[in-house]
Structure 1
Amino acid sequence: MRPEHESEYCDYAANRLVPMRRFAYLVCGDWHRAEDAVQNAFVKLYLAWARAQRADSLDAYTRRIVLNCVKEVQRRHWFTRERSTSEPPDRAATGDTGSEERRLVLDALAQLPMRRRATLVLRYWEDLSVEQTARVLRCSPATVKSQTVRGLRTLRGLLTDSFREQIERT
């Protein structure tokens, strides 16, 4: 990579690393896996930097890579087996400094299938339009709309149940 391109990449990566990590976390629900996915994604972005710069939207291009890396990390995690040890396992970092409601929403979001979760995260957390979301997910706008409706319906049901359980516990 030429020095001026490397400088552009470094500037982009420095500015977009945190938002992409948050996006990956919202899609996969685990900070450790999100960081692995984003790290892999930025390596891939570095290798394809010349092609990425020609994309209509560099952020959309990067989100697509992050989403693919999240899927790869999820698949790898699916096949890994935990081994028992005499030491207690590390607790996953939640990154959550917010309220109980935020935790309930994130827990409910984590229960959605990957595609619906990604659709809701792109539409409502990343504030992308239907068309932009369709480009990132490589699907039609109609698919984005249907996944959004189904995802929100499921999310509402999960949240209603979660809030009801929370109230009953108090």
Structure 2
Amino acid sequence: MNHNDSFREFMAAHQQSLMRTAYLLAGDAHLAEDLLQSVLVKMLGRWAKLAHVASPQAYARKALVNQYISWRRRRVRTAELPSAEPPERPYSSEASTIARLTMQKALAQLPPRQRAVIVLRYYEDLTEHETAKLLNCSIGTVKSQAHHALARLRALAPEFAEMEDVKGAHR
């Protein structure tokens, strides 16, 4: 199997989950597509070398986080105007839609590192150790960023005040 075929297989297996991660980070479907595309283009160019990586999906997820943080730092402005509406999801109740939109709006107000920690820990269900490794920081930093982010989310969206802070939870 050549490298292009193995990359296609990787994409078929992981594109949906990577797009979800990109969307949760970017908060906008169009920006998420751009974010994922830029990461995948870089990965395709390095795919022969990535054959030795234990988990290409973890590599891609880390690249998404790094690219997202880099974009936020540079605050690149384009002529494109992102849509204020999230992508439609079939069969969702009005209450769950409102809760999802409220949480999305609150997430968008978090600093990039805190948002990345929340997405990786609670949406991607990664452990503190896995999150720390992806973000290239200590487990203590992940814990403190999650703590501060959850406190900020509670302040921004009081309806989620019952969110439990996972102090001392070592996954």
TM-score (norm 1): 0.80
Q: Which has the larger radius of gyration?
A: 1
1:41 is aligned to 39
Alpha-carbon separation, structure 2, partners of 1:104 and 1:135 = 29
* 2:21 partner SS: helix
Show structure 1 runs of 5+ residues with no match: 84-88, 164-170
Q: CA deviation at 1:35?
A: 0.2
RMSD: 2.4
Measured after TM superposition, the shift of residue 71 of structure 1 is 3.4
Verify the 8 A CA contact 1:34 1:70 in the aligned structure 2: no
Secondary structure in 1 matching 2:157: helix
Structure-1 residue corresponding to 2:167: none
- Aligned-partner Cα distance in 2 for 1:70–1:62: 12
Check whether the contact 1:36–1:73 (CA below 8 A) recurs between aligned residues. Answer: no
Distance in structure 2 (CA, Å) of the matches to 1:90 and 1:40 = 17
Query: In structure 1, what residue type is equivalent to 2:86?
Result: T
Shift of 1:52: 2.3
Q: Which moved more, 1:20-29 or 1:154-163?
A: 154-163
Q: 1:131 to 1:110 in 2, by over 3 A?
A: same
Pick aligned residue for 1:80 from 71, 77, 80: 77
**Please, what TM-score do these two structures have when normalized by structure 2?**
0.80
After TM superposition, list the pairs within 5 Å mapping 1:20-169 onto structure 2. Answer: 20-74=18-72, 78-80=75-77, 91-97=83-89, 98=92, 99-160=97-158
CA distance in 1, matches of 2:113, 2:53: 23
The structural deviation recorded for 1:79 is 4.1
Cα shift at 1:145? 0.9
Higher relative contact order (CA 8 A, sep 6+): 1
Return closer, same or farther for 1:142/1:92 CA change in 2, 3 Å cut-off: same
* One-letter amino acid of the structure 2 residue matched with residue 95 of structure 1: P
Structure 2 gap segments, 5+ residues each: 162-171
Aligned residue pairs, count: 155
Give deviations 1:15-67, integer Å, cap 9, x for gaps. Answer: 21121111111111111111001011111111111332322322221111112
